[in-house]
Structure 1
Amino acid sequence: MNRIVRSALLLKNAPGNIFRTTRFITPTHFRSLTPSSLQRQQQQLSTRMSGFDFSTCDPEQVRLMSEMCILVDENDRAIGAESKKNCHLMTKINEGLLHRAFSVFIFNSEGKLLLQQRADEKITFPGYWTNTCCSHPLAVEDEVEEVNQMGARRAAQRKLDHELGIKAAQIPLEKLEFLTKIHYLAPSDGIWGEHEVDYIFIAQVNVDTDPSPNEVKSLKYVTKVELQEMFRTASETGIQMTPWFRLIAENFLYKWWDNLDSLAACAEPNVIHRM
């Protein structure tokens, strides 16, 4: 069964399962998610997650598994919230859980793309090469705002600092140019996987980096030709590339790369590409 058919079947069967397992959210609920209440929820979730053996995992990565992601339907309408852990368990993905995410691509003034290699401590796709930064808006008031993709922009700014040490002053929200959304499903190792509606942002700006060692193993800038060679020789060299990065590269990235000075002409803000 190919990915598209599988995704379609998951989505077709999703609502009943989602309605049974999802915590539905109202604007009042979002306002109630203060830092202290979110911390309490994370502590409660950490206890609930004790059924999975995290004893060999990095403690910080385990803590992050209790963050609350935004559940969406196939049209990216927010329908609830669930822990990062549950959103990435294949057993839950097979029940239809779909969450909101973002991917950032930062190019420098020379037109080179900043790549990161995910830390070996990461629970999903450890050691894989990927785009500059990819993560999730959280189910908190500042990051659920949908006007002008503001929630996803704030989340991207937060994670660029958390993972790569890129300060917000270097990436103002308006510098993140929104291109489109990608809906994809990708298993990781049989236990973990991804099922996301992914917001794509591009920024061309020179940045200073100070990566967190349990988030990022290494960083490098590449030209378009160098990236194409990485993909072409990956099986021979043993380099692993994240599935969302490969999908975006194969279908969209090189066109965007050729049009960094006129990205608005490439933008499809009202389209969700089903991959």
Structure 2
Amino acid sequence: MSQQDDEAQLEFMKSEQLILVNENDEEIGSNSKLVCHTDNLLHRAFSVFLFNSSNQLLIQKRSSFKITFPLIWANTCCSHPLHNEKELVEENAVGVKRAAIRKLNQELGINPQDLSVEDFIFLTRFHYNAKYTEKLSEHEIDYILFLHKDLELNINPNEIDSVKYVTQEELKEMLKNDKISPWMRIICQSYLFPWWDKLINGATTSKEFLSTEEQKKIEKLQN
């Protein structure tokens, strides 16, 4: 781990202004990524699950340079919308989807021209709190986004150690034996596999996964 890479991650922690929210996911202000994760402030986040045309899920092992949960397996991309006009848009989760396009480019090298907000299926949000150390934690309203598309990758090693596509059976085995991020484990335990089945069976819109009322719920979950 180089000092330069340490500084790159720390710069993101200091400079990025996240969206602070209450338990109803109503925006109440902003603060730096660093303060959010050291003071356990509730903020908006997202988790992208990218499936290829063979219905395999792309997962990533977080790089050793990450400030929280390094070298832990997680979903395709997980990060935060920023407190700016473009990513604060709440209608149809457009702001979160724009943030996902930005981070998929930064982490996985996916060309933003190959994606649009219409490519994402917004499923639901959940509220969780997970400690990494005594000083660092995740406390998020996490938006779950599905993406069903074959995309070219160019991995950023400062963000990601490695990636692989997995089947449902392979992921279930990993959940028994491997280190998995707390947010991904919660999603797997609570939501993922029935929705994955629906994707395999041709679901392409949010309504085909769950009702509008279910979408509006913000469940408080722990693993």
- TM-score, normalised to structure 2, is 0.92
Counterpart among 90, 108, 115 of residue 146 in structure 1: 90
Counterparts of 1:23-34 in structure 2, within 5 Å, are none
2:13 corresponds, among 48, 65, 70, to: 65
Counting strand residues as a fraction of each chain, which structure ranks higher? 2
In 2: Cα distance, 1:142 partner to 1:125 partner: 28
Task: From the superposition, tell whether residues 166 and 57 of structure 1 become closer, same or farther in structure 2 (CA, over 3 Å).
Answer: closer
2:29 maps to 80
Partners in 2 of 1:110 and 1:76 — Cα distance?
34
Deviations 1:41-99 (A, max 9, x none): xxxxxxxxxxxxxx79611101101210000000000000000001111xx11xxx200
Aligned length: 211
CA offsets, 1:91-140, max 9 Å, x none? x11xxx20000000000000100001100000010011000000000001
Partner SS state of residue 182, structure 1? strand
Greater CA deviation, 161-170 or 247-256? 161-170
Pick the structure with more helix per residue: 1
Q: What runs of 5+ residues in structure 2 fail to find an aligned partner?
A: none
SS at match of 2:47: strand
* Separation (CA, whole Å) in 1 of partners of 2:94 and 2:75: 21
Residue of 234, 240, 246 corresponding to 2:185? 246
Partner of residue 127, structure 1 = 71
Q: Map 1:224-235; keep pairs closer than 5 Å.
A: 224-234=168-178
Query: 2:218 maps to what in 1?
Result: 272
Q: What secondary structure is seen at the aligned counterpart in 2 of 1:250?
A: helix
Q: Does 1:176 align with 2:96?
A: no
Structure 1 residue runs without a partner (length 5+)? 1-54, 235-239
Mapped to 2, the partners of 1:189 and 1:209 lie a distance apart of: 32
Aligned residue number for residue 104 of structure 2: 160
Q: Which entry has the higher C-alpha Rg, 1 or 2?
A: 1
CA shift digits 1:23-43 (9 cap, x unpaired): xxxxxxxxxxxxxxxxxxxxx
* 1:64 counterpart letter in structure 2: F
TM-score (structure 1 length as normaliser): 0.75
Cα deviations across residues 158-207 of structure 1 (Å, max 9, x unaligned)? 00000000112222210100000010000012221100000110011001
Structure 2 residue identity aligned to 1:75 = N
SS of corresponding position for 1:142? coil
Contact preservation (8 Å) 2:66, 2:159: yes
Relative contact order (alpha carbons < 8 A, sep ≥ 6): 1 or 2 greater?
2
User: In the aligned structure 2, how far is the partner of 1:148 from the partner of 1:63?
Assistant: 31
Tell me if 1:255 matches 2:203: no
Match of 1:191 among 135, 140, 165: 135
| 2:47 equivalent in structure 1 | 103
- Partners of 1:204 and 1:188 lie apart in 2 by 31
Does the aligned pair in 2 maintain the 1:57–1:123 contact within 8 Å? no
